[in-house]
Amino acid sequence: MASLYVAKQQLRSAMKNKLGAIPQESTLSQSSVVCNTLKTFKPYVEAKRVSVFLSMPTGEIQTDAIVRHALESGKEVFVPYLHKNPLASSDLPVRVMDMVRLDSMRDYEALEPDRWGIPSIDPATVHDRLRIFGGPDAHHSDKALLDLILLPGVAFDRDPDTGAIRRLGHGKGFYDYFLDRHKAKSMALGKQESSPVLLYGLALSEQFLSSPSEGSVPVGPLDQPLDGLILGNGEIKTPTGNKTAP
């Protein structure tokens, strides 16, 4: 596990330099392509409950237009909310992620940026929102599940042996733990086999490692493969090795 940690940190460091050199104009252009690709992408079109990450100002796909389109399309849009883990245990993360629903476009536009410049949910409003996990005050969270999760990442690739789409996150494990909990909840509700949540990464073209010379994404037993990856050049990478244009 120590060697896995070192490998991940080395790739994160290399990617930080690589992404820092991408002009903002390119980031915005690629973000527009990803949004337009999603508009006709069947898993997104058919999804009723969508989780969308809210972007950092630089270094990743900007999701503002995606959130707006999803809200305008009548989808239930959920965004990440980080909070202290209510379950105290040395085996569990201290901070965890839930997904909370945006009430409206006006609600979304009222979000204030955090210290990293990411629009964030006001903690004072959380208890009034529908959440995927929630607590005793969230009376409708017991049956809330997501259809589609659009994930960020630092780097992505395709496993040369299995064809799986691999993702390197930022190292906090928020999505790994959330996805484990979502799967457990889905199984408890008897929905895991009939309607599993779909996981699609959104990435700048530079974030996809297409050849061994660029490196590879190291993964461990807790890292979940993706159902696909949508790139800023319009490509949709799939686990089967297929590439399809929008």
Residue 108 annotated as binding site = no
Q: Give the pLDDT score at 195.
A: 64
Q: Under 8 Å CB-to-CB from 83, ≥6 apart: which residues?
A: 95, 96, 97, 98, 123, 126
Q: Is 44 annotated as a binding residue?
A: no
Per-residue pLDDT of the chain (246 residues; tens, 9 = 90+): 789 999 999 999 999 999 999 999 999 999 999 999 999 999 999 999 999 999 999 999 999 999 999 999 999 999 999 988 777 666 777 788 999 999 999 999 999 999 999 999 999 999 889 999 876 555 556 678 999 999 999 999 999 999 999 999 998 889 999 999 899 888 888 775 556 899 999 999 999 999 888 999 999 988 999 999 999 999 999 997 544 444
**Is 237 marked within a binding site?**
no
CATH (domain of 91) = 3.40.50.10420
Does 9 appear as a known binding residue? yes
Exposed, middle or buried by CB within 10 Å (0-12, 13-18, 19+), for 136? exposed
158 labeled binding residue = no
Looking at residue 139, what DSSP letter applies?
T
Q: For position 2, what pLDDT does the model report?
A: 82
Is 62 labelled as part of a ligand binding site? no
Does 25 appear as a known binding residue?
Answer: no
229 is in an annotated binding site: no
Side chain identity at 161, as an amino acid letter? D
Q: What is the pTM of this model?
A: 0.92
Give residue 113's identity as a one-letter amino acid code. Answer: P
Is 11 assigned to a binding site?
A: yes
Q: 209 lies in which domain range?
A: 2-244
Element (DSSP H or E) covering residue 165: strand 165-168
CA–CA dist 129, 78 (Å, integer): 10
Has 106 been labeled as part of a binding site?
no
- Is residue 201 marked as binding? no
State how many domains the chain has. 1
- Ligand-binding annotation for 170, yes or no, is yes
Cα-based distances in Å from 134 to 23, 84, 202:
39, 12, 26
Say whether 168 counts as a known binding-site residue: yes
Is 151 flagged in the annotation as binding?
no
Cβ(227)–Cβ(30) below 8 Å? no
